[in-house]
Chains A and B, each alone.
Chain A
């Protein structure tokens, strides 16, 4: 919360006391320990994997190994296919969670607007929410064709219901006193939506967006497994089928990095949007 720009407590003088310096130093040391341990853990895993594979303690044919992964990365890089597959998957995921969040929010607005619709549709939403949406993937492929559209629809389908329910609950938790205040000014329903309900629910919507990023990855990867034309999901499933574990592991690692980066992007966006916090 406090960004250090805040006034220091009154007891603090210009010069830092030895005790306070000590406190800051210990805090810094602790952070350093955490960071270095994190790095060492990674180093250990990579080294152990590499050594174990070299000593044939594990079979690199089925476990792959770091040096082979690096080689695969270099090959893919030269072929240019690394970027084609990665960017396709990333693009599908972004479209999936953006559309999922946007559509889910739109449905939530409709439910907020009409209590009747909300009450009427409630059991349907409950069933749809408990249904594993992945089960619908074959239907989606039949309907939308064997391509990118179907993959995006699968990703979006996974995200949209949970967003609708979550954001709708968020809407109903908006402080009723704020809504009342606006009504005393004579606000219309549109104004209630635009001036209180939506802005007050931005944290809820961002929380939904964060969940949707994860769900969208699942949808896209499963979609690529099934459609198996291109993308990281395709590389993984193809690598598995032809027993090229190097390709599988490389794709998984790229996937992990891309997912982590995307999540950080959302966190950054959250910080920009919620600057009043």
Chain B
């Protein structure tokens, strides 16, 4: 049986131009992500992680190669892909409800149906009582949840998480990662997490993709065979966890 691919990256390359010259940011990069899979991408800073994510979000067009979302070639931002920015980026001037509806509003998809879907998400994830609150009135963890619901409201198949928890303090970060993972699994979404935090990458994903230094290409892919049912926090306690950590740490080859 052929597994359905949610995301397929075929041999892409990306170049940037500036006065100083041109820079090859990504090269010969191919990647397949199955439906419902959670993968993490790590790499040394400046390796083109964010560039890759911007390409997957449809904000940048690779100079070579193609990206397929659900077997459809990507040509720009699409409702099938939902993006989770660094820090929640909730709009302070909108209520939680206003924020949750933002994507639908932009895509002109506000209907009774989509609204009740968004409302259900709020109910399911315990934010319905805060519907009319402004973001500043919510805790960091709740804001992150609201941001996730904003992304889920457009019902994307793939979620892109761009260092999504990096703005939170360490404890909150662990808890939010747990919560987000749980929600993503429950909603049956495919997810791509870009992070510089190796432990976070291992704890959340079933595969960790390591990129090389610039120009970024895939150095290795690590299959993480930790209990898939367990929460990221639990997975961190597993004995094999530190083995994965060391292996990936070595591969990243970080020097200061």
Residues on A facing B (Cβ under 8 Å):
175, 177-178, 180-187, 191, 195-196, 199-200, 202, 276-277
From DSSP, what is the main secondary structure of chain A's interface residues?
A: helix
* B11 at the binding interface (Cβ < 8 Å): no
CB distance from A190 to the nearest CB of B (A): 11
Task: Report whether A276 and B93 are in contact in the complex, using a CB–CB cutoff of 8 Å.
Answer: yes
Contact partners of A195 in chain B: CB under 8 A = 102, 105-106
From B86, B91, B93, B102, A185 is in contact (CB under 8 Å) with B102
The stretch of B73-81, B176-184, B202-210 that contacts the partner chain: B73-81
Q: Interface 1/0s, chain B 62-93, versus A by CB < 8 A?
A: 00000000000000111101110111010111
* B171 at the binding interface (Cβ < 8 Å): no
Task: Report whether B134 and A182 are in contact in the complex, using a CB–CB cutoff of 8 Å.
Answer: no
Task: Report whether A178 and B91 are in contact in the complex, using a CB–CB cutoff of 8 Å.
Answer: yes
* B103 at the binding interface (Cβ < 8 Å): yes
From A177, A183, A187, A277, B87 is in contact (CB under 8 Å) with A177
Contact A185 B134, CB 8 Å, known A175-B89, A196-B91: no
From A185, A202, A276, B106 is in contact (CB under 8 Å) with A185
Residues on B facing A (Cβ under 8 Å):
57-59, 76-79, 81-83, 85-87, 89, 91-94, 102-103, 105-107, 134-136, 154, 160
Task: Report whether B59 and A276 are in contact in the complex, using a CB–CB cutoff of 8 Å.
Answer: no
Contact partners of A180 in chain B: CB under 8 A = 59, 83, 85
**Cα A182 to Cα B89 with chains together (Å):** 10
CB distance from B112 to the nearest CB of A (A): 20
**Cα A191 to Cα B102 with chains together (Å):** 11
From A178, A184, A200, B77 is in contact (CB under 8 Å) with A184
Task: Report whether A191 and B86 are in contact in the complex, using a CB–CB cutoff of 8 Å.
Answer: no
Task: Report whether B59 and A185 are in contact in the complex, using a CB–CB cutoff of 8 Å.
Answer: no
Contact partners of B135 in chain A: CB under 8 A = 276
Contact partners of A196 in chain B: CB under 8 A = 91
The residue of chain A having its C-beta at the shortest distance from the C-beta of B54 within the complex is A180
**Cα A196 to Cα B92 with chains together (Å):** 11
Contact partners of B86 in chain A: CB under 8 A = 177
The residue of chain B having its C-beta at the shortest distance from the C-beta of A6 within the complex is B137
Contact A202 B93, CB 8 Å, known A177-B87, A186-B76, A186-B106: yes
Contact partners of A178 in chain B: CB under 8 A = 89, 91
The residue of chain B having its C-beta at the shortest distance from the C-beta of A199 within the complex is B93
Having A182-B102, A184-B77, one finds 13 other A-B pairs with CB under 8 Å, namely A178-B91, A180-B59, A180-B83, A181-B89, A183-B77, A184-B57, A184-B81, A185-B79, A185-B106, A185-B154, A186-B78, A186-B106, A276-B135
The residue of chain A having its C-beta at the shortest distance from the C-beta of B104 within the complex is A185
The residue of chain B having its C-beta at the shortest distance from the C-beta of A188 within the complex is B106
**Cα A69 to Cα B196 with chains together (Å):** 72
CB distance from B96 to the nearest CB of A (A): 11
**Cα A175 to Cα B86 with chains together (Å):** 12
Contact partners of B82 in chain A: CB under 8 A = 184
Contact partners of A277 in chain B: CB under 8 A = 92, 136
Contact partners of B76 in chain A: CB under 8 A = 186
Task: Report whether B134 and A276 are in contact in the complex, using a CB–CB cutoff of 8 Å.
Answer: yes
**Cα A195 to Cα B82 with chains together (Å):** 18
Instruction: List 12 A–B pairs whose Cβ atoms lie within 8 Å, in order of A's numbering.
Output: A175-B89, A177-B85, A177-B86, A182-B102, A184-B59, A185-B102, A185-B107, A186-B107, A195-B105, A200-B91, A276-B94, A276-B136
